[in-house]
C-alpha cells in the first residue's frame, strides 16, 4: 500500500474531477450556435481537449501551494556563487510598472517614446561611466549574448582592418558561456592554463599570443573570486599583438565604484543586469546583458543605437558596419527600467558600498569556514569565496552531498563543481544584501555539516529529507526527462 500522496505533490490534472468548474456565467440570452457549423472541419478536434476540471478554490490552492514551494531571494539566503543572487528592491518593480513604460508599444512613433529612449540613453551612459567604456549597447538579453555581441564586434573590427584572425584565448577557469558564445561567433577556442589561484599563466599566454588571435576573454575578478593583479600587464601584452581584450563582467559586484574595466585596459566588457544591478534572476524574468566597448569598436555596435540629437532622442539605424540586430525591438526593456532605478537610487557612493560590503561579507564567510573546509587559494577573496570539500571527500562526503544537506538546513546550495579547476568546489557568494545574522546562520550550518561528515554521515547521504522532492536521480532526469503528463492507467 502506498500512502496517499500529499496534495502538493499532485499535478493540477490529477486534481481534476469531471464536471467540476471554476466559473459561473449567467444564462445566455442569445441562441447557441454549433461550432462545427462555424469552423472549417480541419480545425475541429476529434476529441475534447484534456483540460483539468477543477473548482476555483482548487486552482487557488494549487498555485498558492506551488508558489510557497518556490525558493528565492525574497524568502531565503541564496549563496549561489558567480550568480550574485542579491535582493531585488521593490521600487524597481514599481517603476517598471509605470503605465508610460509598461504599456508603451515598441512600435509607437519616436515622438511618443521619448521617455523610454531617454531612460535607455541615460542607462547606457551610466553603465559606460561605471565601467570606463565609451559606449554601451543595451540589446543583449543575457551575459552570454553580451559575449556573443562582443566577439562579433571584435571580429568585425579585425575584418575592417583587413585581418582575418581565427582564435580566441580563454582560461580553463572560465564560465561555460565564454567558449560557447565564442564558438558560436565562428572562432576556435584555445584554452589557456591558469595558475593554482585562477590567475592567468603569463608564460602560457605569451606563448599563445600571435597574429591569428582575435581576442583574450577573461573574468575579472576571476572565477575563484580573486582579483587578477597583473591585469595591466596582461592587457598590454595582448594589445602589443593586436589582440582585443574582453572582460566577462559577471563579477562586477566586487569592483563597482572601485575600479573600471576601461581603466584596466579592456576593450569590451558585458554587464549582467540580473546579477549586479538587481533585475530578477533566472525564473523570475528575462535577463539583460548590456555590452560596453571602447570607441574603436563603436562602428560595429548592434543596431539600433539610441542617440540624442539636440533635445530629442531617437534610434540610429544607419550604421553600415554594424553587426546587426540582436533582439526584438529594444532588448528586454523592463529590465532596463529596473537597473536604471537601482543605479539612480544607489548613486555613486551607494554603488561603491555595494562592492565593499559584498567583499566584506565573502571574507567573513571565508574566515569562519576556513578551519572546517579547505580553501582554494590563500589570502583574502573578493565578493565570493571558493572552498573545496576535498577533506570531506576522503570521508565519503562530496560537494554535492554538502549542497543537498544545506537544503535541509534551510539554505540554497552554493555553486558546486565550478570553477572546474578546483576539486570538489563549493563557490559561495553572499552578496552585500545579507546581514551578519544570516551569514552566521549559514556558517553554523556549514560547520554542522563538516561535523556530521566526521562523525556520522548517514543523514548527509539521505539529504534532502525536508524538501517536497527528495534526492533526485540527476542522470535519469537528464537522459529520460518526463515532459508530458499522462493519465496513470
Ligand X SMILES: *Cc1c(COP(=O)(O)O)cnc(C)c1O
Would you say 441 and 381 are in contact if contact means Cβ atoms under 8 Å apart? Answer: no
Closest distance of CB 330 from ligand X, Å: 18
Cell of 385: 569565496
Would you say 385 and 366 are in contact if contact means Cβ atoms under 8 Å apart? Answer: yes
Closest distance of CB 387 from ligand X, Å: 17
Residues touching ligand X, count (CB under 6 A): 13
For residues 188 to 207, the per-residue mask of contacts with ligand X, x marking binding by CB under 6 A and - elsewhere, is --------------------
Would you say 155 and 347 are in contact if contact means Cβ atoms under 8 Å apart? Answer: no
Does 219 participate in binding ligand X (rule CB under 6 A)? yes
Does 144 participate in binding ligand X (rule CB under 6 A)? yes
Does 429 participate in binding ligand X (rule CB under 6 A)? no
**DSSP secondary structure, 17-38, as one string:** -TT--S---PPPSS----HHHH
For residues 150 to 189, the per-residue mask of contacts with ligand X, x marking binding by CB under 6 A and - elsewhere, is -------------------------x-x------------
Closest distance of CB 272 from ligand X, Å: 5
For residues 281 to 320, the per-residue mask of contacts with ligand X, x marking binding by CB under 6 A and - elsewhere, is ------x-x-------------------------------
Q: How many residues does the chain have?
A: 489
Closest distance of CB 288 from ligand X, Å: 8
Does 432 participate in binding ligand X (rule CB under 6 A)? no
Stretch that binds ligand X, among 41-49, 139-147, 323-331, 390-398 (CB under 6 A): 139-147
Stretch that binds ligand X, among 19-27, 136-144, 239-247, 469-477 (CB under 6 A): 136-144
User: What SS3 class is residue 57?
Assistant: helix
Name residue, grid cell 576593450.
Answer: 267
Distance CA 397, CA 317 (A): 57
**DSSP secondary structure, 125-154, as one string:** HHHHHHHT-SEEE---SSHHHHHHHHHHHH
Could you tell me whether strands 244-248 and 213-219 are parallel, antiparallel, or unpaired per DSSP bridges? parallel
* Burial of 391 (C-beta count, 10 Å sphere; 0-12/13-18/19+): middle
Between 326 and 457, name the residue whose CB sits nearer to ligand X: 326
> 77, 82, 158, 170: which one contacts ligand X (CB under 6 A)?
82
Apex 261 CA angle, 129 and 324, nearest 5:
75
Closest distance of CB 386 from ligand X, Å: 12
Does 262 participate in binding ligand X (rule CB under 6 A)? no
Does 228 participate in binding ligand X (rule CB under 6 A)? no
Query: Between residue 353 and residue 382, which ones bind ligand X under the rule CB under 6 A?
Result: none
Stretch that binds ligand X, among 138-146, 202-210, 239-247, 364-372 (CB under 6 A): 138-146
Closest distance of CB 175 from ligand X, Å: 3
Q: 379: alpha, beta or left, given left = phi > 0 and alpha = psi -120 to 50?
A: left
* Burial of 310 (C-beta count, 10 Å sphere; 0-12/13-18/19+): exposed
Distance CA 155, CA 210 (A): 16
> 79, 143, 171, 262: which one contacts ligand X (CB under 6 A)?
143
- Residue 331 makes CB contacts below 8 A (sequence gap 6+) with 138, 139, 140, 141, 288, 290
Closest distance of CB 211 from ligand X, Å: 28
Closest distance of CB 260 from ligand X, Å: 18
Would you say 11 and 54 are in contact if contact means Cβ atoms under 8 Å apart? Answer: no
Q: Which helix (H) or strand (E) holds 444?
A: helix 436-455
3-state secondary structure 337-359: HHHHHHHHHHHHHHHHHHHHHHH
Closest distance of CB 429 from ligand X, Å: 9
Distance CA 440, CA 283 (A): 28
> 248, 401, 424, 432: which one contacts ligand X (CB under 6 A)?
248
> 142, 200, 387, 427: which one contacts ligand X (CB under 6 A)?
142
Stretch that binds ligand X, among 60-68, 142-150, 421-429, 477-485 (CB under 6 A): 142-150
Between 280 and 289, name the residue whose CB sits nearer to ligand X: 289
Closest distance of CB 409 from ligand X, Å: 25
Between 290 and 304, name the residue whose CB sits nearer to ligand X: 290
Does 272 participate in binding ligand X (rule CB under 6 A)? yes
Closest distance of CB 289 from ligand X, Å: 5
- Residue 453 makes CB contacts below 8 A (sequence gap 6+) with 392, 395, 396, 397, 402, 460
Stretch that binds ligand X, among 21-29, 30-38, 141-149, 314-322 (CB under 6 A): 141-149
Closest distance of CB 248 from ligand X, Å: 5
Between 80 and 234, name the residue whose CB sits nearer to ligand X: 80
- Contacting positions for ligand X (CB under 6 A): 82, 142-144, 175, 177, 219, 223, 248, 250, 272, 287, 289
Amino acid at each position: 500500500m502506498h500512502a496517499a500522496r500529499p496534495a502538493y505533490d499532485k499535478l493540477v490534472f490529477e486534481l481534476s474531477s469531471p464536471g467540476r468548474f471554476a466559473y459561473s456565467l449567467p444564462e445566455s440570452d442569445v441562441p447557441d450556435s454549433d461550432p462545427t457549423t462555424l469552423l472549417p472541419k480541419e480545425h475541429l478536434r476529434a476529441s475534447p481537449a484534456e483540460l483539468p476540471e477543477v473548482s476555483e478554490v482548487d486552482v487557488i490552492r494549487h498555485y498558492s501551494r506551488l508558489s510557497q514551494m518556490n525558493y528565492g531571494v525574497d524568502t531565503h539566503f541564496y549563496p549561489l556563487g558567480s550568480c550574485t543572487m542579491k535582493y531585488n528592491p521593490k521600487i524597481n518593480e514599481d517603476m517598471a510598472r509605470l503605465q508610460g513604460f509598461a504599456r508603451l508599444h515598441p512600435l509607437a512613433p519616436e515622438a511618443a517614446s521619448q521617455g523610454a529612449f531617454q531612460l535607455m540613453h541615460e542607462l547606457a551612459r551610466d553603465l559606460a561611466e561605471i565601467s570606463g567604456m565609451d559606449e554601451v549597447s543595451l540589446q543583449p538579453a543575457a551575459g552570454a549574448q553580451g559575449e556573443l555581441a562582443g566577439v562579433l564586434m571584435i571580429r568585425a573590427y579585425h575584418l575592417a582592418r583587413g585581418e582575418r584572425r581565427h582564435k580566441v584565448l580563454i582560461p580553463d577557469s572560465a564560465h561555460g558561456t565564454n567558449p560557447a558564445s565564442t564558438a558560436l561567433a565562428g572562432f576556435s577556442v584555445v584554452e589557456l592554463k591558469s595558475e593554482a589561484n585562477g590567475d592567468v599563466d603569463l608564460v602560457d599566454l605569451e606563448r599563445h599570443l600571435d597574429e591569428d588571435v582575435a581576442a583574450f576573454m577573461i573574468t575579472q575578478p576571476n572565477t575563484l573570486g580573486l582579483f587578477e593583479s597583473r591585469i595591466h600587464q596582461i592587457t598590454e601584452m595582448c594589445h602589443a599583438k593586436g589582440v582585443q581584450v574582453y572582460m566577462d563582467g559577471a563579477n562586477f559586484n566586487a569592483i563597482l565604484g572601485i575600479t573600471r574595466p576601461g581603466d584596466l585596459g579592456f576593450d569590451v566588457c558585458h554587464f549582467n543586469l540580473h546579477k549586479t544591478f538587481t533585475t530578477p534572476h533566472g525564473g523570475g524574468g528575462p535577463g539583460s546583458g548590456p555590452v560596453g566597448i571602447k570607441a574603436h569598436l563603436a562602428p560595429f555596435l548592434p543596431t539600433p543605437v539610441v542617440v540624442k540629437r539636440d533635445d530629442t532622442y531617437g534610434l540610429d539605424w544607419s550604421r553600415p558596419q554594424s553587426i546587426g540586430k540582436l533582439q526584438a525591438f529594444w532588448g528586454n526593456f523592463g529590465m532596463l527600467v529596473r537597473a536604471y532605478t537601482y543605479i539612480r537610487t544607489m548613486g555613486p557612493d551607494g554603488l561603491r558600498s555595494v562592492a565593499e560590503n559584498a567583499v566584506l561579507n565573502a571574507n567573513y564567510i571565508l574566515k569562519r569556514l576556513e578551519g572546517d573546509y579547505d580553501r582554494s587559494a590563500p589570502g583574502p577573496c573578493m565578493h565570493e569565496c571558493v572552498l573545496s570539500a576535498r577533506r570531506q571527500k576522503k570521508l565519503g562526503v562530496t560537494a554535492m552531498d554538502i549542497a543537498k544537506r544545506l537544503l535541509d538546513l534551510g539554505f540554497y546550495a552554493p555553486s558546486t563543481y565550478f570553477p572546474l579547476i578546483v576539486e570538489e568546489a563549493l563557490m559561495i557568494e553572499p552578496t552585500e544584501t545579507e546581514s551578519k545574522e544570516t551569514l552566521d546562520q549559514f556558517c553554523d550550518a556549514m560547520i554542522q555539516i563538516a561535523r556530521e561528515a566526521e562523525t556520522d554521515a548517514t543523514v548527509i547521504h539521505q539529504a534532502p529529507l525536508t524538501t517536497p522532492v527528495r534526492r533526485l536521480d540527476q542522470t535519469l532526469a537528464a537522459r529520460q526527462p518526463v515532459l508530458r503528463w499522462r493519465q496513470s492507467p
